[in-house]
Structure 1
Amino acid sequence: MANRDLNRLKVVLAEKKRTNRWLAEQLGKDQTTISKWCTNSSQPDLASLMMTAKVLNVELTDLVRFEEFKNENDGTE
């Protein structure tokens, strides 16, 4: 699962016209952490992902690329 874009955080932030800095402040996280999540170089834990969905007023499923998991499980890419 290396180097896959598993979350849609960068896209959702752009859609909501919010910045990494704003999200970091809302979550009490370092801006570098949010940047890593947005570039998919690291992934948020489930609790952070749930809180992110809450502060962005979106569904948790809006933040995750489930097709990546589906394709991995059914053998297609």
Structure 2
Amino acid sequence: MAEERINRIKEILVIQGKSQKWLAECMSKTPTTIAAMCNNKSQPHLKDLKRIAAILDVDIRELLVPTKE
């Protein structure tokens, strides 16, 4: 069964032409940690999600998969 997609971090990085390694450096986190978040194997804490939104200059809600249409 496929992993449930909760966040769109990887998608936003692709749209903006930025790498996971770049985000890891901006966040002072390991590339492995960021890769796990991007692949929805782990989810960032809310404070980290807020920081990612600020770094990527997007609304925090854009980083999440909507639960309702």
Q: In the alignment, which residue of structure 2 is the partner of 1:74?
A: none
What residue identity is the alignment partner of 2:65?
R
Q: Which residue of 2 aligns with 1:75?
A: none
Partner of 1:64: 64
Taking the aligned partners of 2:20 and 2:39, their CA distance within structure 1 comes to 11
Partners in 1 of 2:18 and 2:43 — Cα distance? 19
Aligned residues: CA RMSD: 1.6
Structure 2 counterpart SS, 1:44: coil
Task: Give the total of aligned pairs.
Answer: 68
Determine helix, strand or coil for the equivalent of 1:58. coil
Normalising by structure 2, report the TM-score.
0.91
The sequence identity of aligned pairs, in percent, is 36
What is residue 12 of structure 1 aligned with on the other side? 12
Which is helix-richer, 1 or 2?
1
Structure 1 length normalisation: TM-score?
Answer: 0.82
